[in-house]
Structure 1
Amino acid sequence: MTTDIMLPIGREQIQASASAKQEPEWLTQLRLDALEKAGQLELPQLEKTKLDRWNIDQYGQYKLEKAVQHYDELPASLKEVLQGKEYENLLVQQNASVIFEQLTEDLKSQGVIFMSLEEAAKVHENLVKPHLMSVVQRDENKVAALHAAGFSGGVFVYVPKNVEVQIPLQAMFLHDQKDTQFSPHILIVAEQHSRVTYVDYVHSEAEGANTVHNSVAEVVVKPGAHVTFASIHQLQEGTTDLSYRRAHVENDGKIEWIIGEMNNGNVVSDTTSILKGNGSNSDAKVICIGTKAQKLNITTRAVHFGKSSNSDMITRATMKDEATAIINGITKIEKGATHANGEQTERVLMLSPKARGDANPMLLIDEDEVTAGHAASAGQVNKEQLHYLMSRGISREQATKLIITGFLEPIVAEMPIPALKEQLAQLVERKLG
């Protein structure tokens, strides 16, 4: 068929992997429908970024990885990230397959589900099918359609009504073999008045890999529920990261995003909150560091439909060498969203003459009775701060590092798991040299 020739994923590949995974027919059909749409759709239109010039066609082949039963059998690189600690609620994906799942009996008894999305599609069809590709539509653009057609592994989280998960649920995603698929899908459904914290770490170390990581996270926040979603991405040079995260928030619900983009390749990162309900709330904190010749397009967005809905967005980016970044903050207040409040701040710090960073705050307001504001800046290290620290006997190099660390610390400090907070701090230090 024409779609097999035009696209990096083909019907035969989808059908072969579906057969290998014994996938339910409805999910395979969803994939094939998405593939047909991908052949008709355009790439997403990004601010000042020509995505068609990037490496966005190397999706790799599906390969089933061997599952492990015990923590000690996990890849050494992941245990290093976990710092040798066995977490109570942990899921691990290696390349295209989930290889390890662990959830406490207490949470299982309360009806909490934390498992491979592809397995959940078989055993919890009534929970997965209504929500999968409902927050991010598979016909939005070619990237979304290709994801729906070819996602592999992934995570399904379900928290029943009134259940509060006290210990964070943690997922680790590792890509360590070139030419293999690595496009997980995260689906979180938090029922009324529930509460959960989900944290993931995405890492690649496949030598010579030239891969696309096309991932989607969908979060469904029912009335009065509260979801915290924290994520660190550290994908290697040569890997293009296309990550779309989106939450649908109902009455009095809340979504918190804490995102660390520590990649070494090109990045498109889109984190969006759809505030459908009255009194719904979104709090988003994003940091990124660009080095060498990286190209970053980072968008944080809140769309207000509900009355008295509230959003706050903070993005901080540091650019080195010849890296370039487009940092977009978008607050959209729809007609009827009276008494909505939307605030945003974007700040870019450039550490070399050839580095570039654009901070683009956007307020799109179709309602009169609202409050909205923004602040944005792009510049170099503050000379007065640098002079003050150097006057106290601190070297220029160390003073610069202290200023940058302080610039990023408000977001690093929000990471809800101590081990990953330390990991993020180490990644920041490593990327800054």
Structure 2
Amino acid sequence: MTVETKLSVNQDYVRSFSQEKGEPEWFTKLRVDAFQKAEELPMPRPDKTRITTWNFTQFAQHAVASEPYSTLDALPEAVRSLIELENESKNLYIQHNQTPAYLSISDELKAKGVIFTDIVTAIKEHSDLVQKYFMQEAVKIDEHKLTALHAALMNGGIFLYIPKDVEISEPVQTVYVHDHEDAPLFNHVLVVADDNSSVTVVENYVSTNEKASGIVNIITELVANNGAKISYGAVDTLAEGVTTYVNRRGFTKRDARIEWALGMMNDGNTISDNTTKLVGDGSIAHSKTVVVGRGKQIQNFTTQITHFGKNTEGFILKHGVMKDAASSIFNGIGKIEHGATKSDAEQESRVLMLSEKARGDANPMLLIDEDDVMAGHAASVGRVDPVQLYYLMSRGISRKEAERLIIHGFLAPVVSEMPIEAVKKQLTEVIERKVK
């Protein structure tokens, strides 16, 4: 069976939706043009995963209004537990479904010219700056049906701009609460670090209602200008009824650096694209991902670092744990373009299977079009190491506890990278819950 890909809204709806939000004419036009492309473009074709039966285009309603949170005390406990108390009055954005629900930015960052606001407000109040970067470099509108549909129907997200030479020492945190049944979320995150600036961003997608369902279409764009550094951590824990397309992209200029630490813990079917373009000479990207799959969910994770500039460095690390009848594809692509001399592309993908019916497929790929470079990869798919298990059990540890320790050690390289203790604790607890 193939799911109908005809869109459940029309061009007039897209135009009126934009006008009702008071968006500038350039963005209304962008939405309408993107919608026209979405009607014609094909669906993406993730390697080794058929998504023809997945619904990404049909939904009961597009726009919904959800209650904002008047204070942090009104937050659901699942959300409040993610926020460190000392960060409550500082740099924090919370979104409830499609509604901006809470926003705080420190006076210090305001004084330095940092912009941190919801994406719809940014489009109206910082129009020229958003227009310069929105789906221009990291992600293109016309890549396929889902990127075009995202641009046409975007209804949430944030814009974060860090001016030149500004270093933000404390993490900026965003939390997206999805508890609606059937309403789609088209969430756009745009982070721009200007020359020689730095920032750490941590985001959570969390379902506070186990019956939450529908489509979540996420695009994140990180733009690191000359000498800038962006550290980006994310933990996704959307419910089983949510079908997710997530596209996290990075774009680096000269001597810039982007570091990804991604905890992919959704319970529903998920397609993920994490691509970084190393355009400037001397730029660096490290991407670390952990995944736990359970039940009958199907997931596909593609991580790609493409080297355009000279002396660039890319490192991909992916560790996944599969149990029950879950299946996941792990594609790692290190690509060095012609002219990117002295570049280094390395990757490691490892999958641990806990059940007979679980399936994991690690596919490392190196695409090299230059001679004077370094590149390497490693991949493995298997079960818990019996030698490690025997060693721990010989010390009086039960088999169940020994397996738990091995799994946590297996996933630790990414968990340890989370820069907010509350989020690190949440990721650890999610792993504990999913593998027990």
Q: Same fold (TM over 0.5)?
A: yes
Contact 1:177–1:207 (CA under 8 A) maintained in structure 2: no
Change in Cα spacing, 1:367 to 1:120, as seen in structure 2 (3 Å) is: same
Contact 1:34–1:149 (CA under 8 A) maintained in structure 2: yes
- CA distance in 1: counterparts of 2:338 and 2:171, whole angstroms: 37
**Equivalence for 1:42:** 42
Contact 1:188–1:219 (CA under 8 A) maintained in structure 2: yes
Give yes or no for the alignment of 1:385 onto 2:416: no
**Equivalence for 1:70:** 71
Q: State how 1:290-309 maps to structure 2 within 5 Å.
A: 290-309=293-312
CA deviations 1:62-92 (Å, max 9, x no partner) are: 1133444532343444223326662510001
2:127 to 125, 128, 131: 125
Contact 1:253–1:277 (CA under 8 A) maintained in structure 2: yes
CA deviations 1:191-247 (Å, max 9, x no partner) are: 000000011000123454431110000111100000011100000001111100111
**Which letter maps to 2:243?**
T
Q: State how 1:64-103 maps to structure 2 within 5 Å.
A: 64-82=65-83, 86=88, 88-103=90-105
Contact 1:194–1:224 (CA under 8 A) maintained in structure 2: yes
SS at match of 1:384: helix
Change in Cα spacing, 1:289 to 1:186, as seen in structure 2 (3 Å) is: same
Contact 1:178–1:207 (CA under 8 A) maintained in structure 2: no
SS at match of 1:347: strand
**Equivalence for 2:281:** 278
Overall identity of the aligned pairs, in %: 43
**Equivalence for 1:200:** 203
Change in Cα spacing, 1:16 to 1:80, as seen in structure 2 (3 Å) is: farther
CA deviations 1:273-330 (Å, max 9, x no partner) are: 1000000100110000000101110111100000000011100000000000100100
- CA distance in 2: counterparts of 1:43 and 1:346, whole angstroms: 26
* Unmatched 5+ stretches in structure 1: none
Aligned-residue offset at 1:402: 0.7
Q: Which moves more between the two structures, 48-57 or 417-426?
A: 48-57
Q: Which moves more between the two structures, 151-160 or 174-183?
A: 174-183
Q: Which moves more between the two structures, 77-86 or 138-147?
A: 77-86
**Equivalence for 2:230:** 227
* Unmatched 5+ stretches in structure 2: none
**Equivalence for 2:262:** 259
CA deviations 1:325-380 (Å, max 9, x no partner) are: 10010000000000000100000000011101000000000000000000000000
**Which letter maps to 1:330?**
I
Contact 2:217–2:244 (CA under 8 A) maintained in structure 1: yes
- CA distance in 2: counterparts of 1:181 and 1:294, whole angstroms: 20
**Which letter maps to 2:45?**
Q
**Equivalence for 1:420:** 423
Output the TM-score relative to the length of structure 2.
0.95
Aligned-residue offset at 1:17: 2.9
Q: Which moves more between the two structures, 70-79 or 303-312?
A: 70-79
Give yes or no for the alignment of 1:17 onto 2:20: no
SS at match of 1:386: helix
- CA distance in 2: counterparts of 1:23 and 1:269, whole angstroms: 29
Q: State how 1:107-256 maps to structure 2 within 5 Å.
A: 107-134=109-136, 135-206=138-209, 208-256=211-259
Change in Cα spacing, 1:344 to 1:9, as seen in structure 2 (3 Å) is: farther
**Which letter maps to 2:250?**
A
- CA distance in 1: counterparts of 2:391 and 2:58, whole angstroms: 49
Output the TM-score relative to the length of structure 1.
0.96
- CA distance in 1: counterparts of 2:337 and 2:9, whole angstroms: 37
SS at match of 1:107: helix
Contact 1:55–1:240 (CA under 8 A) maintained in structure 2: yes
- CA distance in 2: counterparts of 1:171 and 1:87, whole angstroms: 13
Contact 1:38–1:145 (CA under 8 A) maintained in structure 2: yes
- CA distance in 2: counterparts of 1:246 and 1:221, whole angstroms: 11
Change in Cα spacing, 1:68 to 1:354, as seen in structure 2 (3 Å) is: closer
How many residues end up aligned between the 2 structures?
430
Q: Which moves more between the two structures, 199-208 or 171-180?
A: 199-208
Contact 2:43–2:145 (CA under 8 A) maintained in structure 1: yes
Aligned-residue offset at 1:181: 2.9
- CA distance in 2: counterparts of 1:77 and 1:24, whole angstroms: 36
Change in Cα spacing, 1:65 to 1:188, as seen in structure 2 (3 Å) is: same
Aligned-residue offset at 1:133: 1.1
Cα-Cα RMSD: 1.6
Change in Cα spacing, 1:9 to 1:197, as seen in structure 2 (3 Å) is: farther
Change in Cα spacing, 1:207 to 1:157, as seen in structure 2 (3 Å) is: same
CA deviations 1:101-131 (Å, max 9, x no partner) are: 1000000000001110110000101110111
- CA distance in 2: counterparts of 1:373 and 1:278, whole angstroms: 20
Contact 2:5–2:56 (CA under 8 A) maintained in structure 1: no
* Moved >6 Å (runs of 4+): none
**Which letter maps to 2:408?**
T
- CA distance in 1: counterparts of 2:208 and 2:94, whole angstroms: 15
